[in-house]
């Protein structure tokens, strides 16, 4: 079982998320343990204060080191296993499917969700193992970012998805965007499903899907192609598409 703990000032935000849909089913199956903990409970003062004014002056308040260090230490297991401790912040590594796959190999993840102006730098320097940003924008807190990471990691765990191949063929898992999908009826409002998909010829279906995946990536995220090993035939496809656009 993978264990995921979230340190947050607003644990109620996670109640419905952890109980619904795929995450809820994974929790019920015992595949993943999900827990949100209010780190205000670990403040070392009578008012449970977790923030203070920054040294040197400036606007906003800064989260104190003590309650977050103490909260993390209470989550460590007696066997000495070291969890990945993840700080959600705009300065972190840009999140990717590859990072999700990496984190899915761990047994224990701890997420720290911040608010206010920022964190005491000693949290960043001496406690966390990873800093993650889900995009080049700023949220009011790390909770929504933590939910995104948790969801993307949990769905990769064995037994979470009904079809284990779903995660393997996802966009970005292969380095490419995913190919188009169709389902019944074969004709809807005069729009037909591509003939190859109802041909029953699995080799041709596989080739079509690869070609469509490459074309969609070429059209929407061409920078991803630099990281993908292409066959000579696939290189010819891309060359032909380039010529089409220039015609």
Options 170, 178, 215, 216, the catalytic residue: 170
DSSP conformational letter for 157? S
Options 155, 209, 210, 216, the catalytic residue: 155
Residue 155 designated active-site: yes
Options 3, 54, 90, 215, the catalytic residue: 90
DSSP helix/strand/coil, 112? strand
Cα distances (angstroms) measured from residue 24 to each of 18, 142, 143, 144, 227: 5, 21, 18, 17, 35
Q: How many CB atoms lie within 10 A of CB 198?
A: 13
Structure-derived torsion over alpha carbons of residues 189, 195, 199, 201, reported in degrees to the nearest 10 = -140
Options 66, 102, 106, 117, the catalytic residue: 117
Contacts of 239 by beta carbon, 8 Å cutoff, 6+ apart: none
Residue 219 designated active-site: no
Cα distances (angstroms) measured from residue 238 to each of 205, 213, 227: 19, 12, 15
Residue 170 designated active-site: yes
Q: How far apart are CA 170 and CA 156, in angstroms?
A: 10
Residue 158 designated active-site: no
Give the residue numbers annotated as catalytic, written as ranges: 90, 117, 155, 170
């Amino acid at each position: 079982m993978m264990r995921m703990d979230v340190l947050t000032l607003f644990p109620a935000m996670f109640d419905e998320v952890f109980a619904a849909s795929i995450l809820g089913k994974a929790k019920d199956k015992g595949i993943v343990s999900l827990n949100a903990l209010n780190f205000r409970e670990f403040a070392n003062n009578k008012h449970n204060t977790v923030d203070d004014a920054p040294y040197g002056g400036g606007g906003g308040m800064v989260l104190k080191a003590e309650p977050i260090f103490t909260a993390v230490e209470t989550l460590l297991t007696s066997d000495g296993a070291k969890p990945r401790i993840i700080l959600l912040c705009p300065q972190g590594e840009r999140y990717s499917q590859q990072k999700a796959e990496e984190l899915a190999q761990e047994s224990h993840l701890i997420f720290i969700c911040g608010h206010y102006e920022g964190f005491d730098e000693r949290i960043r320097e001496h406690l966390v193992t990873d800093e993650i940003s889900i995009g080049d924008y700023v949220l009011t807190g790390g909770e929504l970012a933590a939910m995104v990471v948790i969801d993307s990691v949990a769905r990769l765990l064995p037994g979470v998805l009904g079809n284990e191949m779903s995660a393997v063929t996802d966009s970005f898992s292969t380095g490419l965007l995913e190919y188009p999908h169709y389902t019944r009826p074969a004709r809807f409002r005069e729009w037909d499903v591509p003939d190859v998909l109802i041909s029953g010829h699995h080799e041709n279906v596989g080739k079509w899907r690869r070609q469509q995946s490459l074309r969609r990536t070429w059209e929407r995220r061409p920078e991803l192609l630099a990281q993908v090993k292409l066959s000579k035939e696939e290189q010819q496809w891309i060359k032909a598409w380039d010529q089409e656009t220039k015609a």
